Amino acid sequence: MRRNDREIKDKTIIESIINEALVCRIGLSENNIPYIIPMNFGYRDNYLFLHSAKEGRKIDMIRNNNNVCFEIDISHEIIKSQKACDWGMNFRSIVGFGKAFLLDDITEKRNALDIIMRKYSGMNLSFEYPGNAIDQIAIIKIEIKSITGKKCGY
């Protein structure tokens, strides 16, 4: 990282950014062409869990190349100035790299959905899912290999 004074190394702070954020952007690549998509997500024990349709571009790309990167950011605040070049932004963010896997096991998928639901609902429950709903979705599990944090103004 070019600006060491902005680096976040504390895992507790990095996890607080992950837990506060509402969106995770994942980056994929196919034939040297990048593709990025914002997603709802959950986090536990160094894994990200993403809810997805079973078919589509990102699923095809993961099947062909499961190397992914991801970005999460929070606490945005524009800093205004009288001079154009003195404007700035306060923020906290993380960037990470990992391997993406599609979960097949129904129990693993249910547990991953519970992690996602707990994040957005704020309720620490096991949730009920209708009929074959779990069979009709994909869950992407990202094993985080490396992660760095950055802050400005905090």
Residue 84: pLDDT over 90: no
Quick one: which of 55, 23, 21 has its CA closest to 36?
A: 23
Q: How sure is the predictor about 73, in pLDDT bands with cuts at 50, 70 and 90?
A: very high
Handedness of CA 107, 66, 42, 14 (dihedral sign): positive
Residue whose entry in the numeric block shows the structure tokens 């963010």: 93
Q: How sure is the predictor about 145, in pLDDT bands with cuts at 50, 70 and 90?
A: very high
CB 28 within 8 A of CB 68: yes
Q: Average pLDDT, stretch 39-62? A: 96
Spatial CB neighbours of 147, under 8 Å, sequence gap ≥ 6:
14, 94, 95, 96, 97
Give the helix/strand (H/E) hosting 120. helix 106-121
* Integer Cα distance of 23 and 130 in angstroms: 25
Residue 90: pLDDT over 80: no
Domains of the chain listed by start with CATH number: 4-152 (2.30.110.10)
pTM of the model: 0.89
Residue 3 confidence (pLDDT): 62
Q: How sure is the predictor about 131, in pLDDT bands with cuts at 50, 70 and 90?
A: confident
* Integer Cα distance of 41 and 119 in angstroms: 8
Residue whose entry in the numeric block shows the structure tokens 């902005």: 6
